[in-house]
A and B are shown apart, each in its own frame.
Chain A
Amino acid sequence: MSVAIAERPQVASPVTSLRPVISFHGVNKVYPNGTTALREVDLAIHEGDFCFLVGASGAGKSTLVRLLIREEAATTGRIFVDGQEVSRMSRRRLPKLRRKFGIVFQDYKLLTNRTVAQNVAFALQVTKPGQRHLREKIEETLWIVGLEDKLEKYPDELSGGEQQRVAIARALIHRPRIFLADEPTGNLDPDTSWGIVQLLLQINHRGTTVLMATHNREVVDLVRRRVIAIEDGRVVRDEAQGRYLRQGEATL
């Protein structure tokens, strides 16, 4: 399938890679109830990277995603996205920050009382009202995720995999720089999961940075991309072509 997502340069050149699109510097996050979710996290993700964020439930993957879009603020340390410091950003500037991201979650977060086309349109209507050629943009994006024939269906009439594709289309329609996927295959069977990951790889192939938090071992081991492993709030491993578990680590 030829994909027409972005006119952006394909995989980042070594020169642009010097400045990471996402970076964490000594980031700690302690929730008000006293739980420490992240400890001294240092990370750099470059333009065009495809990263898996792996770790057990509660290891801190979701907190990391929430800090990136400033749903939560870091307790100490600094986070930069596209050259801007997120951790000290004023509330007024958050909408601009969030428009750099496309985000999907395990539970899709679709509006059940709207059609597929309306769900996808929603993201553009609320960020760029008065957008021209809205219909064409919706059709094009749904074609990318392979749902061009489901425009007028409601989410309840779709399978789990299809619903996740609608969520991906919604996250993609405004052409984000960074694509965040928090457990996108958590509710899906292995075949469907593989289809979703293929789609994320395609999106990445067109130049969009992708960060996918997951504990889907098969997927991580098949794709062999960068793996950042978190355990108990710390980055314990960061490998360019990693596996879900460390070499020789015991399987469950």
Chain B
Amino acid sequence: MRRVIASLWFATVSAGQNFKRNLGVSLAGVFTMGLILFLVGGALLVTHSVNTVLEHQQANASKIKIYLSDNASLSAITDFSTRLQHDSRVLAVSFEDKDQAEKEASQDPQISQALQTLGSNPLPASLNLTVRRLTDLGALDSMARNSPIVDKSTATDYNPDVINKLHTLIDIIEIVGAVIAAILFVVSVVIIMNTIRTAVYARRTEIEIMKLVGATDWFVRWPFILEGILGGVLAAVFSGAIVAGGYNLFVHYTHSSIFGVPFDGPYTFALLVILAVGGVAVGAFGSFLGVRRFLNV
């Protein structure tokens, strides 16, 4: 027991001492690791934010207005509305009469002015649908067009172009995000391994002496692994602070714009945990690999 505690103590103290004695190399390692964690965190956040915005757009896009003919009877409208409500593809149906349509349209000052000039209300009543899946919009649109109560001139506000573009955009962003993450992963492993190898190389005499006087492999390894973990934690703190701070500022500045990104608390927390775990894992594993070459004495 005494020996185990003494070993742990030795590993911890020498990890700290080594970190301090080779402060330049240690900080360079922390900085590199921090920079990469920052890039990883940044890439994850940007992808997440873009997806949030797009999902918001998608939520809007999953709505369709079915314009009703002015001649349609109330019972026919109710029948059609009931049929839609029982359709499994439909999430919600609401009826908007001509007055409501006018009120909503009047929010735009130009339209309001035009309506006033016109004197009468040309806007049709409508059934507003929210669908479960975007891909069902096309089918619902054609079903509506075949109904006799629908306004023949402008049946719906369905615009397949916008929806297809949105789909493509989401796909592209997901692919680009995955590619960037993969590249960053490879780059980070290579850079971190080399940084740690440089740090270990600076202490090869120490390792050589340890091996010559008969220290076990794990006894030699532990201080370096602890040092790697220490570096990883510092890098995670440093990059986590910048990523979370930057995200906060970004949310703050885009708050009033059309691309307003809402602040996602749980996601930020998860991201910080990912960075911390990633930093510790990469630091420990990098040190393990870095020492391995010098252990073969």
Contact = CB atoms under 8 A, between A and B. Distances in A.
Interface string B119-150: 00000000000000000000000000000000
Given A109-B205, A109-B208, A127 B297 contact: no
Contacts of A128: 3
Interface stretch (A22-30, A46-54, A93-101, A187-195): A93-101
B191 interface: no
A149 B6 CA distance: 28
B209 A122 contact: yes
Contacts of B5: 130
A126 B7 CA distance: 8
Given A95-B215, A95-B216, A98-B212, A129 B10 contact: yes
A98 B211 contact: yes
Contacts of A174: 213
Interface string B1-13: 0110111011000
B205 A111 contact: yes
Contacts of B10: 125-126, 129
Given A71-B297, A109-B205, A113-B21, A126 B6 contact: no
B98 to A, nearest CB: 87
Interface in B207-243: 208-217, 219-220
A129 B3 contact: yes
A98 B213 contact: yes
Interface in A60-103: 69, 71, 91, 94-99, 101, 103
A123 interface: yes
Contact of A130 (B6, B205, B215): B6
B211 A130 contact: no
A130 to B, nearest CB: 3
A171 B209 CA distance: 10
B278 to A, nearest CB: 31
B6 A97 contact: no
B3 A103 contact: no
A126 B210 contact: yes
Contacts of B3: 128-130
A172 B93 CA distance: 90
Contact of B209 (A69, A109, A113, A131): A109
Nearest to B223: A126
Given A71-B297, A109-B205, A127 B7 contact: no
Interface string A110-128: 0101000000001101111
Interface in B176-202: none
A127 B205 contact: no
Interface of B is mostly: helix
A71 B9 CA distance: 28
A202 to B, nearest CB: 21
B206 interface: yes
Contacts of A103: 212-213
Contacts of B205: 109, 111
Contacts of A130: 2-3, 5-7
Contacts of B211: 98
A31 to B, nearest CB: 15
Contacts of B6: 129-131
Contacts of B210: 122, 126
B7 A129 contact: yes
Contacts of B214: 94-99, 101, 126-127
Given A91-B217, A126-B214, A129-B3, 5 more contacts: A95-B215, A101-B214, A129-B7, A129-B219, A171-B213
Name the 10 nearest CB pairs between A and B, nearest first: A130-B6, A129-B6, A98-B214, A99-B214, A126-B215, A123-B213, A95-B214, A129-B7, A130-B2, A130-B3
Interface of A: 69, 71, 91, 94-99, 101, 103, 109, 111, 113, 122-123, 125-131, 170-171, 174
19 contacts: A69-B212, A95-B214, A96-B214, A97-B214, A98-B214, A99-B213, A109-B208, A111-B205, A111-B209, A122-B210, A122-B213, A123-B213, A126-B10, A127-B215, A129-B3, A129-B219, A130-B5, A130-B7, A170-B213
